[in-house]
Amino acid sequence: MRLKALLDFVILVSTWSKGDGKCRCIYNEPCWPTEQDFASLSSHLSQPLLRPVPPASACYPFHNPSGNCSDVQSHRRDSIWRTDQPGAYENINFESHIFQNGSISACYLNTTFGIPCEKGNVPPVGVDARIVEDVQVAVKFAGQHNLRLVVKNTGHDYLGRSSGRNAFMIWTHHLKNITYTAEFIPEGGSRKDAVPGLTVGAGVQWYEAYTAAAQNNRFVVGGISATGSNGAAGGWIMGGGHSVFSPKFGLGEFSTNALLRCIADWGCAGVDNAVEFTIVKPNGDYAVVNSHHNQDLFWALRGGGPGSWGVLISVTHKTHDLFPLVFSTLNVTFPTPDAATSVVTELVRLSPILSDLGWGGYGLFSNMNLFLGFPSPNASWGDVKSTILPLFDLAMNASHDPDAVATTTPLANPYELLNPSDGTESQDDPEVGGLAELGSRLLSRNAAELRPEETARLLLSFDFVEVHFVTGGAVGRVEPDSVALNPGWRKAVALVRTAGSWEEGTSAKAINRIQQGLAQDVTALDHISPDLATYMNEASLHELDFKKSFFGNHYDKLKAIKRKYDPRSLFIVAEGIASDEWDDALTCPR
Ligand SMILES: Cc1cc2nc3c(=O)[nH]c(=O)nc-3n(C[C@H](O)[C@H](O)[C@H](O)COP(=O)(O)OP(=O)(O)OC[C@H]3O[C@@H](n4cnc5c(N)ncnc54)[C@H](O)[C@@H]3O)c2cc1C
């Protein structure tokens, strides 16, 4: 009897705590809105409600598939197709959910496992936002019903922050407005603040933004992927947003005029590539955010992390004149680890020099091979000859590989490289459609300048490592406190990434071992990073101290701003501001 009374009490308390405004309300709980509530919501929206499903659900039940399974399987690595599906994510592990007891809720593309399809982390209900009012209605609905809320744009997130088990989703993919304004004056500003601005809606993807900028003979600093499918006005910008052109023009947040020091406490007009945002705040109000309005939020949105501040509606990026460049590539194999060490040591030593010239690039290497791609804006042949070519000569001589290739190609403008398109060309992206997590650290200028060989040996101790030369140069010359971004970026010359991947059907235990391996990689990389800092959008979900690694000493100020705009923490994401106050599922306060 006593046991039954105790159980009744536990059930009573758990039901009570789910509905009392403390824990978030999630799908299948008694507090979840009724179909009548959803019908009422729907009557205020421009589109029917979404019922997102994992793409592979078309393959189930496996004896009698409900949809075109081979079509879904053929689009596995089709980046743009995936972004068009409300229930699809670029890394498909974020469509599934791992429970604490090790069981996995998933909908595998591989039907031969014979495991029934489950929704995993794909939110069961969502709003297909096409106008600002859709977002406002959805945010208010989520607030009124105390729902676990998820904002999804392209689904590129490497930390799964745009998916959420049993959550209510706002999908921004169709907020596609793009406007170029030759003299964009931020609201509240004057003619002296005018910049050539490209205003992109929250759902615009980089291939679309590049196309619009190119049509106006302008350049916009943005993300790069095989198809340009990542978002131009979502997680990229709020997380920091890097580009191979950042050493020349700064990050998503920063301007060409990088020497200008900003001393304003809450952001600074004149130093930003992002000159204005519009947003639906957590209370459902629409707001303009710039250096004249909501200045504290303006500071926070530039590097204070995605998914924590409301729903972005648009971003206006400052654009730049087009420029010629030299694109250099190197593809070699190494006969011995010593050969790899000598070449990578030289690459590391050179990286601050290249970034100071405003040149960025990508490097992928191991003890066995090296691939480099370096676009160098406004490069003079003299500079290329004294920097990149000696490195390439060293690598070619060390390689003894008859198939080794080194090229330097002059290009008239960056769009010969970025290739703006209508998204109808090959859409397969090798980075997409897998099951993967990342580990990363920024590489400090100090380590590159003072300890190049030690740094090279550390990088080569991994099976395989990616180095993105996307910082230094202009990024390092900006006042660290002028925007929310982790100040560690200012002391860095590159981002180092390691990755762990697995196949569908892998057990939770094996996945956990991979995650632990990534955590060990990160600990090893701490030795070459500035203040353990990294790029929060390309980082581990299992950081020991995400506040320090993602936000540095800006965390407390960001938290104060969050308290002001989102006192109920409606917008909470993994390893985001105030997320440490919530349990791992982000549904109940700790
Ligand atoms: C193939 C690939 C290539 C990449 N290339 C680059 C690169 O070149 N440079 C770079 O810096 N990064 C790059 N990234 C990382 C990328 O910037 C991040 O994954 C980023 O979070 C993606 O943002 P998204 O809005 O497109 O994706 P989503 O997964 O939809 O969203 C990511 C996060 O942003 C939030 N969010 C999205 N839209 C909004 C909105 N309107 N309002 C509020 N919150 C929102 C979501 O809630 C989530 O927390 C790449 C990633 C991939 C997979």
Cα(478) to ligand 1 centroid in Å equals 23
**In the prediction, which pLDDT does 361 show?**
95
**In the prediction, which pLDDT does 252 show?**
65
Query: What atom of ligand 1 comes closest to residue 202's alpha carbon?
Result: 41
Give SS3 for 210: helix
Query: What atom of ligand 1 comes closest to residue 238's alpha carbon?
Result: 34
Nearest to 581 by CA among 15, 162, 573, 101: 573
Instruction: Please state, in angstroms and rounded to a whole number, the distance separating the CA atoms of residues 515 and 538.
Output: 14
Q: What is the largest CA-CA distance in the chain?
A: 88
Residue type, 179: T
Instruction: Please state, in angstroms and rounded to a whole number, the distance separating the CA atoms of residues 289 and 304.
Output: 14
Q: Helix H segments across 204-335?
A: 206-215, 235-239, 246-249, 295-301
Q: Are 161 and 87 in contact (CB under 8 A)?
A: no
| Spatial CB neighbours of 192, under 8 Å, sequence gap ≥ 6 | none
Q: Are 320 and 272 in contact (CB under 8 A)?
A: no
Which contiguous run of DSSP H or E holds residue 101?
none
How buried is 151 (Cβ within 10 angstroms: 0-12 exposed, 13-18 middle, 19+ buried)? Answer: buried
Pairing verdict, β 492-502 and 465-469: antiparallel
Ligand 1 pocket, mutate which of 230, 244, 302, 308 (most atoms under 8 A from CB): 230
Length of the chain: 590
Ligand 1 pocket, mutate which of 95, 130, 157, 313 (most atoms under 8 A from CB): 157
Cα(486) to ligand 1 centroid in Å equals 17
Looking at the DSSP assignment, which residues form a beta bridge with residue 311? 280
Q: Are 221 and 317 in contact (CB under 8 A)?
A: yes
Ligand 1 pocket, mutate which of 89, 135, 162 (most atoms under 8 A from CB): 162
CA nearest ligand 1 atom 34, residue: 235
Q: Which structure tokens are listed for 188?
A: 């509240």
Instruction: Please state, in angstroms and rounded to a whole number, the distance separating the CA atoms of residues 417 and 520.
Output: 36
Q: How far is CA 188 from CA 41, 70, 195, 257, in A?
A: 34, 53, 14, 22
Q: Are 260 and 371 in contact (CB under 8 A)?
A: no
CA within 13 Å, CB half, 98: 16
| Spatial CB neighbours of 337, under 8 Å, sequence gap ≥ 6 | 367, 460
Q: Are 145 and 126 in contact (CB under 8 A)?
A: no
Ligand 1 pocket, mutate which of 135, 151, 467, 541 (most atoms under 8 A from CB): 151
Pocket residues for ligand 1 (CB within 6 Å)?
90, 151-158, 161-162, 172, 202, 223-225, 230-231, 234-236, 239, 241-242, 306-307, 311-312, 429, 431-432, 537-538, 573
Give SS3 for 138: helix
List, run by run, the mean pLDDT of 10-residue segments along the chain (590 residues).
Answer: 39 38 91 98 98 98 94 94 97 97 97 96 98 98 98 98 98 98 97 96 96 96 89 96 89 44 29 85 98 97 97 97 96 97 98 95 96 94 93 95 94 86 66 95 98 98 95 92 95 97 98 96 96 96 96 98 98 98 96
Q: Are 362 and 244 in contact (CB under 8 A)?
A: yes
CA nearest ligand 1 atom 37, residue: 234
Nearest to 447 by CA among 531, 341, 534, 530: 530
Instruction: Please state, in angstroms and rounded to a whole number, the distance separating the CA atoms of residues 253 and 521.
Output: 29
CA nearest ligand 1 atom 32, residue: 235
Looking at the DSSP assignment, which residues form a beta bridge with residue 184? 195
- In this prediction the ipTM stands at 0.99
Q: DSSP states of 488-552 as a string? A: GGGGEEEEEEEEEEE-TT--HHHHHHHHHHHHHHHHHHGGGSGGG---TTSS-TT-S-HIIIIIG
Q: Are 218 and 350 in contact (CB under 8 A)?
A: no
Q: Which structure tokens are listed for 391?
A: 């490195």
Q: Angle at the Cα of 311 (from 307 to 317), degrees rounded to 5? A: 95
Q: Are 159 and 535 in contact (CB under 8 A)?
A: no
Q: How far is CA 536 from CA 73, 201, 335, 420, 513, in A?
A: 31, 23, 36, 27, 22
| Spatial CB neighbours of 325, under 8 Å, sequence gap ≥ 6 | 375, 376, 377, 378, 379, 410, 411, 413, 414, 417
Instruction: Please state, in angstroms and rounded to a whole number, the distance separating the CA atoms of residues 81 and 53.
Output: 15
Cα(508) to ligand 1 centroid in Å equals 26
DSSP summary character for residue 117: P
Cα(231) to ligand 1 centroid in Å equals 6
Q: Angle at the Cα of 214 (from 177 to 418), degrees rounded to 5? A: 105
Cα(155) to ligand 1 centroid in Å equals 7
Show the domains of the chain with their CATH numbers: 325-552 (3.40.462.20)
CA within 13 Å, CB half, 43: 5
Give SS3 for 474: helix
SS (H, E, C) 449-469: HHCHHHHHHHHHCCCCEEEEE
Q: How far is CA 393 from CA 111, 283, 343, 346, in A?
A: 50, 59, 10, 11
Neighbours of 3 (CB within 10 A): 7
Residue type, 285: D
| Spatial CB neighbours of 579, under 8 Å, sequence gap ≥ 6 | 546, 572, 573, 586
Question: 247: cis peptide before it, omega within 30°?
Answer: no
Beta strands in 203-343 (DSSP E): 218-219, 274-280, 286-289, 311-318, 320-321, 325-333
